[in-house]
Amino acid sequence: MAFSRSDSRAVDELRPIRFTRGWQEFAEGSVLVEFGNTRVLCAASFTPGVPRWKTGSGSGWVTAEYAMLPRATTTRNQRESIRGKIGGRTHEISRLIGRSLRAVVNLEALGENSITLDCDVLQADGGTRTAAITGAYVALADAISWGKENGHIRSDVRVLLDSVSAVSVGIIDGTPCLDLPYVEDVRADTDMNVVVTGNGNFVEVQGTAEGATFDRKELNTLLDLAVKGTSELAKLQAQALQED
């Protein structure tokens, strides 16, 4: 019997993707990104100046913080502010988003300015970290434009070297699939998040066996799917940024 996905998509098909720029009106860049039912609000805050350890370096900094509303999920999660500490998963994803964005930023061209990306998951249906990276890139682009328009960045430099997006892939009942929603994610034997630049190079490859290990051939198929998915996401990002 043929394998069929929970939402009838083809195995190499993305969920419906939507970017809403300017969702929060006070941020220098703000995007509500949707991968199907997954909704992440990405806010880019531009601050002249850099953390102490970069002062005087002439170059800037980009960092990210990921979090989830208590009721983004099917059952309520306790707030990390109430628990008094950030969990390991949150730390890990925040660091991943920051690294992914810095891979396409020319920090020297940014000058001594800092951009913080807040990625808050309003609704979680799988792939929140990849949606966060993909949306944060758009918010980042808007914040850099703001920095140029407001004279914080020289208008003649190229701060963004490329675009960056991310997608999850996984093996479900032996079938490699692209962009897993929550119901597929929990069934997947292998789960991989791949971050790819607009020109198709890798920034991060994070594959994890969850139950069954994976062989070299499966790894290759997963990478093929991820490259296809991120190349489509790159086009959608470009399209969103052209709107005004």
Closest approach, Cβ 17 to its own copies, in A, equals 18
- Whether the CB-CB separation of 178 and 167 falls below 8 Å is answered with yes
Rounded CA separation 34/132 (Å): 9
Q: Is 236 in the site for its own copies (CB under 8 A)?
A: no
Q: Is 63 in the site for its own copies (CB under 8 A)?
A: no
Rounded CA separation 164/199 (Å): 9
Q: Is 91 in the site for its own copies (CB under 8 A)?
A: yes
Q: Which residues of 35-55 are buried (b: 16+ CB within 10 A; e: fewer)?
A: bbebbbbbbbbbeeebeeeee
Q: Is 145 in the site for its own copies (CB under 8 A)?
A: no
Binding track, positions 8-47, relative to its own copies; x by CB under 8 A:
----------------xxxx--x------x---x-x-x-x
Rounded CA separation 95/74 (Å): 25
* Nearest alpha carbon to residue 106 among 154, 139, 45: 154
- Whether the CB-CB separation of 207 and 171 falls below 8 Å is answered with no
One residue of 6, 16, 22, 76 binding its own copies per CB under 8 A:
76
Nearer to its own copies, 12 or 204 (CB): 204
- What residues line the site for its own copies (CB under 8 A)? 24-27, 30, 37, 41, 43, 45, 47, 65, 67, 69-76, 79-92, 94-95, 99, 103, 116, 118, 120, 122-123, 192, 197, 200-209, 213-216, 219, 223, 227
